[in-house]
Amino acid sequence: MNNDAFEIVDNRLISTRNGVIVPNDEPIFILRARDSKALSVIRVYQSIFSPTTKNWKLAQKIFDDFDDFRNRFPRKIMEPNELY
């Protein structure tokens, strides 16, 4: 699942919800499904929300998608220092 909350247009990251461009000087953080630590990071992030919220449910969907990828492609899973 590629989250459709953002898109890249003319080498700029843009929110698809409101059209706001992410400034070049703003740090961003991207998780890849092949990162062996991604599921743990998603769970920690999810834990700050109540299970009844939209954000918690979105985090669960992302977790499920990453977990599905891990199960389908176990040989692609790598330690973070091996990814980049």
Write out the H or E segment, with its range, that includes residue 9: strand 6-9
What is the pLDDT confidence band of residue 78, given thresholds at 50, 70 and 90? very high
> What pLDDT score was predicted for residue 80?
83
Task: Provide the CA 59 distance to its chain's centre, in angstroms.
Answer: 9
Look at residue 64 and give its three-state secondary structure.
helix
**What global pTM score does this model have?**
0.82
> What pLDDT score was predicted for residue 58?
92
* 20-64 tens-digit pLDDT: 999 999 999 989 999 999 999 999 999 999 999 999 999 999 999
Name residues whose C-beta falls within 8 Å of residue 41's C-beta, 6 or more positions apart in sequence: 31
